[in-house]
């Protein structure tokens, strides 16, 4: 059966076991893609020699169990192949989606949507994220799930910050407005 005909299975990653290598590979691919896009956009210098990731990202690839301790890490699989990952950090005021990646060959097949929906459900309240402004398709996906652009909490140029308020809170606000 074709991959695009199958719905992904979303599950929690076990970072103490073999999923650590899977998460490392997926997050590494995401970070390398992001660094290449930032270079193309003039936001990052060319890498020295081997194209290694900047130091601030290496722990996520080298030891995801330590880097993501206390976070929710979800994997998307089709036919036992991991095609995406999402990393959700619980914060006081809202959960934050730190990483959301789908394998390039699987894009456009609902993997990212399924991961985003699972991340929102896992968060159980307000969710925030940031996205580079050239990732227009990702921003459309986020907007389709109720995320709205807000003033930046991050000082990096061209990084768009978005928040999805807790849907139960939004429903309460709508009910109050409609009863007026």
pLDDT, one tens digit per residue, over 130-175 is 999 999 999 999 999 999 999 999 989 899 999 999 865 544 444 5
What mean pLDDT is predicted for residues 91-105?
A: 94
* pTM, entire model: 0.86
Q: What is the structure's pLDDT at 49?
A: 54
Confidence class of residue 61 from pLDDT cuts 50, 70 and 90?
A: very high
3-178 has which CATH code?
Answer: 3.40.630.30
46: CB partners within 8 A, 6+ apart: 39
DSSP element (H, E) containing 127: strand 127-132
Q: How many whole angstroms separate alpha carbon 61 and alpha carbon 120?
A: 24
Does residue 106 carry a pLDDT above 60? yes
As a whole number, mean pLDDT of residues 46-58 equals 75
């Amino acid at each position: 059966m074709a991959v695009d005909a199958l719905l992904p299975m979303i599950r929690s990653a076990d970072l103490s076991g073999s999923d650590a290598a899977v998460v490392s590979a997926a997050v590494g691919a995401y970070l390398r893609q992001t660094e290449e896009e930032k270079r193309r956009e003039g936001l990052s210098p060319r890498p020295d020699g081997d194209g290694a990731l900047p130091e601030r990202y290496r722990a996520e690839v080298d030891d995801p169990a330590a880097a993501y301790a206390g976070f929710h890490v979800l994997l998307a699989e089709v036919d036992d192949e991991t095609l995406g990952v999402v990393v959700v950090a619980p914060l006081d005021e809202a959960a934050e989606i730190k990483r959301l990646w789908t394998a390039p060959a699987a894009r456009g097949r609902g993997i990212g949507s399924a991961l985003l929906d699972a991340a929102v459900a896992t968060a159980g309240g307000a969710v925030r994220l940031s996205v580079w402004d050239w990732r227009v398709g990702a921003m459309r996906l986020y907007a389709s799930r109720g995320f709205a652009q807000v003033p930046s909490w991050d000082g990096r140029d061209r990084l768009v910050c978005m928040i999805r308020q807790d849907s139960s809170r939004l429903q309460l606000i709508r009910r109050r407005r409609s009863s007026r």
